[in-house]
């Protein structure tokens, strides 16, 4: 395995660049000879069970271990050339958990987001564009500001993209997209008969330049999607792994990519057979601060 992380690296989003062990390098070279997913989505499940099975004392310790593992996985994905990653950090349904756990998770998020902003040198070096998906009105003003500051700080970076979904469910995202469309219709900016799939796409959280995932990975042995990227993942290859998220290692990631490569022919056929209306108007969302304006795109 790779060398142990320093205490500072365990707290941060980026691990120090080190030479990979020979077996990791060899496995990566072998896998890289096949198609690599451009966008991978993760349901990071199993942090609470990890805390209980390892007798860590409280579940927040499990979430901290999960974050440390996320930093490693971001590095591994970068080495594979995966350009976009989306992580399910906090579901709206998670607000139903105990007040102690929810408060602990919010404090952990504030700590990690603030550390990211403070690590200006690493941000400039990695050039990762951060975007946040979800209903931010459910969060504290402190968290909302941190998220907006991170997006503004990294919006022009081109070294890859990390989408953090928090607090998020697909149902809420789709409902908010229709509310955006309703407001545009009410204000006379679009006509009802102009509403199409492209307009809905543009009004989703991913309408700010995100793409549909090629590979969807869920850990902990649960075989469900948990209301995550249901619109965007309609043609995505789904892979389930029994391992808990803090134990999702390099070999687990390699197995998931190999599984994607094996079934990619089927996924490609599904995508290529999709019927599209070439005459339909395409739309994109123009973001200016907190304002959103739909713009039709001419063919």
**181-190 pLDDT per residue, tens:** 999 999 999 9
Angle at 283 between CA 190 and CA 85, to 5 degrees: 135
Query: Over the stretch 249-274, which tens digit does the pLDDT of each residue have?
Result: 999 999 999 999 999 877 666 666 56
- Over pLDDT 90: what percentage of the chain? 79
Residue 227 — left, alpha, or beta (φ > 0 → left; ψ -120 to 50 → alpha)? left
On the question of pLDDT at 289 being above 60, the answer is no
Sign of CA dihedral 234, 239, 245, 246: negative
Whether the Cβ atoms of residue 228 and residue 209 lie closer than 8 Å to each other: no
Contacts for 52 with CB less than 8 Å, ≥ 6 apart:
59, 62
218 beta partners: 43, 240
Can you tell me the mean pLDDT for 157-186? 96
In the chain, the domains with their CATH numbers are 35-169+212-270 (3.40.1180.10)
- Residue-level pLDDT at 1: 38
- Residue-level pLDDT at 265: 74
User: Is the N-terminal amide bond of 250 cis, ω within 30° of 0?
Assistant: no
Q: How far apart are CA 154 and CA 127, in angstroms?
A: 7
Q: Calculate the CA 86 to chain-centre distance.
A: 1
> What does pLDDT average to over the chain?
90
On the question of pLDDT at 38 being above 90, the answer is yes
């Amino acid at each position: 395995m790779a060398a142990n992380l320093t205490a500072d690296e365990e707290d941060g989003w980026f691990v120090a660049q080190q030479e990979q062990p020979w077996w990791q390098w060899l496995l990566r070279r072998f896998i890289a000879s096949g198609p690599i997913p451009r966008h991978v989505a993760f349901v990071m499940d199993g942090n609470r069970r990890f805390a209980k099975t390892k007798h860590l004392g409280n579940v927040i310790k499990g979430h901290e271990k999960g974050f440390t593992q996320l930093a490693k996985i971001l590095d591994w994905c970068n080495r594979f050339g995966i350009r976009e990653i989306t992580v399910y950090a906090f579901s709206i349904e998670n607000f139903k958990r105990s007040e102690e756990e929810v408060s602990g998770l919010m404090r952990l998020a504030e700590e990690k987001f603030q550390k990211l902003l403070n690590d200006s040198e690493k941000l400039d070096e990695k050039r990762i564009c951060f975007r946040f998906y979800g209903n931010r009105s459910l969060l504290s003003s402190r968290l909302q500001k941190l998220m907006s500051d991170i997006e503004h700080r990294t919006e022009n970076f081109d070294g890859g993209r990390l989408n953090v979904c928090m607090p998020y469910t697909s149902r809420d995202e789709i409902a908010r997209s229709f509310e955006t469309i309703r407001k545009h219709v009410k204000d006379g900016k679009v006509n009802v008969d102009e509403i199409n799939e492209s307009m809905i796409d543009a009004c989703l959280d991913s309408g700010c330049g995100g793409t549909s995932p090629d590979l969807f990975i869920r850990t902990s042995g649960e075989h469900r999607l948990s209301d995550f990227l249901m619109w965007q993942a309609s043609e995505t290859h789904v892979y389930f792994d029994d391992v808990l998220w803090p134990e999702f290692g390099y070999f687990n990631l390699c197995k998931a990519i190999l599984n994607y490569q094996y079934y990619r022919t089927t996924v490609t056929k599904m995508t290529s057979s999709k019927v599209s209306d070439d005459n339909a108007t395409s739309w994109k969302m123009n973001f200016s601060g907190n304002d959103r304006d739909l713009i039709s795109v001419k063919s």
